[in-house]
Amino acid sequence: MGLKETKPKSPLNKSFGYAFSGIIQAIKSERNMKIHVVTALIVICFGFYFSLSGIEWLFILLAISGTITLEMVNSSIERAIDLATDQIHPLAKEAKDFAAGAVLIYAIFSVIIGIIIFLPKIVA
């Protein structure tokens, strides 16, 4: 019998606790997470300064939450691969590079959203 069958399910409050500690641990241990969180706080301050509309906030919050979420998934994929093998393997490389590519695509999309929303307000 594997760990999955023997381990009882965690109560909901404990699961939330694990999730929150995962977020804190990711911010503490990942340089990119720190960059994303600081950038997000700066963008949110700009958002209040420029009194963004509801739709504009929606896009900004989607960009921020999507980037941070993908960065966490990328970091967990990196850890899972490092745990699975310490060998150099083309599949390990692809898995890590695909995950990093996913973050990059969303980050570029987020920068474009930021430019579309903030640039006209800054130049006005």
Ligand X SMILES: Nc1ncnc2c1ncn2[C@@H]1O[C@H](COP(=O)(O)OP(=O)(O)OP(=O)(O)O)[C@@H](O)[C@H]1O
| Dist. CA 50–CA 57, nearest whole Å | 11
100 binds ligand X (CB under 6 A): yes
Give the one residue of 23, 97, 105, 112 binding ligand X; rule: CB under 6 A. 97
Q: Which stretch binds ligand X (CB under 6 A): 48-56, 61-69, 87-95, 106-114?
A: 87-95
Our finding on whether 78 is near ligand X (CB under 6 A) is: yes
From the list 19-27, 41-49, 93-101, 116-124, the region that binds ligand X by CB under 6 A is: 93-101
Structure tokens at 70: 């993908």
DSSP secondary structure of 42-109:
HHHHHHHHTT--HHHHHHHHHHHHHHHHHHHHHHHHHHHHHHH-SS--HHHHHHHHHHHHHHHHHHHH
CB 102 within 8 A of CB 74: yes
Verify whether residue 5 is a known catalytic residue. Answer: no
Out of 44, 77, 92, 102, the only residue in the binding site for ligand X (CB under 6 A) is: 92
Q: Is 89 in the site for ligand X (CB under 6 A)?
A: yes
Task: Give which of 85, 78, 71 is closest to 33, Cα–Cα.
Answer: 71
Closest CB to ligand X among residues 108, 116: 108
Q: Which residues bind ligand X (CB under 6 A)?
A: 32, 78, 85, 88-89, 92-93, 96-97, 100
Q: Which residues are catalytic?
A: 71
